[in-house]
Each structure stands twice: as structure tokens, then as C-alpha cells.
A and B are shown apart, each in its own frame.
Chain A
């Protein structure tokens, strides 16, 4: 695909004068309202916030339902199935912590629940 040689992580580290700290992968910092999502993710479950009043599913989740502003909600399990809509292959110009993973694919899928 690319006629150019990839630049190794060692080379970019030297070239950009990077520390090990610069190469640490960013982790999500959960909010009060997204924590249940990440707790479930730890157990390899994909869950979505569903409003108990109007049935609206919010992803990402927020403090209250974005359709009716209600607090009451439940976490439902998603099938994890989706339809691939588009993808990109990152080859260059990514944050340095992801340099060692190049090339990698970022895909966009739509789920039957209507969330992308």
C-alpha cells in the first residue's frame, strides 16, 4: 500500500527525543456516569445505558437521559455484532504510544441497536 519504509519505534524515539512516559498508552478516565460501562468492559461485556423511562439508549452515556432527562436507567448487554461501514489504516502521524502498532486499522461499524 505504502511505497515508503515504515519508521521504527526506536528511530522515532531517538529522532523525537521521547521518554518512556511519552510512549505510555492513554487510558480512559471514567466519569461517574460511564464507570459502569468500563467495569463491564473489564469483564469483557459490552453494555449500553438504557433509559428506564423512555427507552432511549445513550452511547456515550451521560449524567441523565439525553432524550427525556430522566435519571433512572439500566445497563443492557449489547450483542457486540455490527456492520462494517468504513475503515482507515493508520500508517503514520499517530500519537507516539501507538507507533509500535503501525499499521493498524480503525473501523467504523453500526450496531443493530442504532449506535455507531
Chain B
């Protein structure tokens, strides 16, 4: 990919939270129309429709099956559609979907790709949700029989990180507080009504020591969409294209025992060359970023990813977040939609929501959360049990 070869020109999103009456089909059709309208194009210009995989199936009318069999282009009237498919890499789906879109654009078959995510969890019983989600990411043969949970994995990483860097649990909790402050500015966030404090986060019910309920994310219904095109077309149809300036990726493992990183305490050392490469490809540095859109899912992971950016001394980001500098009004805006912890965990959609928020910020459409004059940002995502990591530098202009 050449820097600035592709651009995102429009986004759509529905409120995140408990909406049992709203089916995934309704979400998908709604966000698709909104993204196309926002992009200022006609739906007939869409030549490819990509769907994110949803999680947990309703056997009576399975969303994944319907999307794989081409329901979406037909339902939204994308009569010029030539290609449709589903792409998934769990939490990293925002990246794999975008890469697929880039490949299709690069092939020349079409110059306009629509990407859609929709998820509804709330119609499943708490037992079904617990069964699925508590063990998601854990290996069914080697971990699940021993009572392993995703929260326990994040808890171990948190313990290791705190021991290694001297970060306090209060500093870890302050990530949740900062995320909540951003979510308070987001009309579509699940938790946008009430501020939380470090004290409240630390004293909430213990889930997996040292993580409390407020340090673990909650499943939510939601969805979002974006329209991607070539830079050439983007310039013609909108005054506000958001360019993909540089990307870099790495895959580490499926089973945590096979992680490519030496250990999870030093995960930032594993991540930092990936971030560096993304910056290099964009021709920019971490200090050029106006926003840092960090996908962590857990507060400690946000700190580890921040440590990897080459912007702050590794191990000091907990103190930085605690100081309020990453909160609204701070010097370094981090994760401006509140992410999984406060925006809501929509399965494969957490990273897609963060990408959509990144586009809104760079288009000046982020409402109350708008970072004034934002030109460049870095965004990351990853899936599985920290199986991979992808960094993307985006901007509303192509640097020199």
C-alpha cells in the first residue's frame, strides 16, 4: 500500500447498549444507509459489501449465514454490488475487514466498498452469555477444563505489568475513569450517564484479582459501518476524506503458551516495532499524533499499548492517565469513544467502533468529543488472547 492510497469517507453507528427489540439485520441495514448518506454517495456506487462476523448464533435466522449468502447488498439496494463476503479475526476484525477492502479496491473491480458490523447479545440468557464470553479466547482443550477465563488472563497480565513497571492499581483504574469521561461525551455509548471515580473502580466487586467488575467489559448490542474508497474518488465526492497513511501488523499466537513475546510483562517491547513501522510508513512520528485511539479491552492493555508507541517512557503511562492528560481537555486525547469498557463490548465490533470514531474525529464530526483541529491519529486493534496487533496511522491530509 502506498501512503494515502485509500480513504474512508463516511460512517454510520447505532446506540450501544441493551436493545433486545433491535435485530442484527435492523442494525446492519440502519448503519449501512447512514454510512452511505454520510459519505455523500449513492448506494448504487457501492461495488463491494463486507460484513463482520457476529458472535453467538440464533439458529432460527442466523445472521452470519444470511450475510455470507448475500442478504445485505440485496436488502440495502446495493444494485451495483459485485463482491460480498464476511471477514473476521475476532477483536482485530476492523483491521482484517479494512485490509480486505483495500485489496478489493486495489484490484480495480470497484472503487467503493461498504463495511458493516452488527451485534445483538441481549436476547441470549445470562447463562448462554456467561458460557460463551467468560471463556472466549481461552483454549478449549488446554485451558477451559482448568477454569481459565479471559478475565483471568487479563488479570495475570495486569499483575505482571504492575510488578514489572511499578504501576499501581489506582493508575490502572484511572484508565477506566478516563474512558468513562470520553464515553460521557458520546451519544451512542452504553455508559454515558454517570462518571466513575478511581475509588469506585477499585472497590467494585472483585472478578479476577486484581480486576474488579468496572475493569472488565460488558457485552452490548450495537453496530457501525464505514465506506472506503480510493483516494482519487474520495477527493471527488467529499471535502473530508480520511486517509490511511501507514499500517503495520504482527501475529503472535493462538495459545498463550506459544506467545511470540518473551512474556506479557514486557508485551510493550513486542508491540513497539509494529507501531514504529506504522509511523515510518506514514512518514510521521508519535509526536505528530493529535489523538491516540487505543484498543485495549482491559485497562492495563491500554497502558501497555501506550507504552509501545514511543511517545512516553514505558511504565509511566499509568501516571500520565492518572494525571488526567489523556481525558477530555487533556494534552494527549486517548480513546475518545470510551472503548470496550465504557462504549460497550459488541463482540467483533469494538475495534470497528473505534475506527469509526477515528474517522469522525478526523472529519470534525465527533460532536462533544471532538478534539479541535485533529489532523493525525494512530489507532490499534487486536484479537484472540492477544494473538495479534495492528497499528494504523490515519489523517485528514497526506503529509508532505
Contact = CB atoms under 8 A, between A and B. Distances in A.
Most buried by A among B163, B203, B208, B255: B208
A93 B149 CA distance: 9
A58 to B, nearest CB: 9
B75 interface: no
Interface residues of A, number: 39
A106 B148 contact: yes
A29 B209 contact: no
B147 interface: yes
A93 to B, nearest CB: 5
Interface stretch (B12-20, B151-159, B179-187, B236-244): B151-159
A60 B255 contact: yes
B205 interface: yes
Interface stretch (B92-100, B105-113, B126-134, B359-367): B126-134
B139 interface: yes
B144 interface: yes
B135 to A, nearest CB: 6
A93 B257 contact: no
A97 B340 CA distance: 27
Interface residues on B, range: 35 or more
A85 B159 CA distance: 9
B131 A95 contact: yes
A60 B258 CA distance: 8
Given A92-B207, A98-B147, A116 B257 contact: yes
Interface string A12-39: 0000111000100111111100100000
Contacts of A1: 206, 209
B142 A28 contact: yes
B206 A91 contact: yes
A26 to B, nearest CB: 5
Interface of A: 1-4, 16-18, 22, 25-31, 34, 59-60, 85-96, 98, 101, 103-104, 106, 108, 110, 115-116
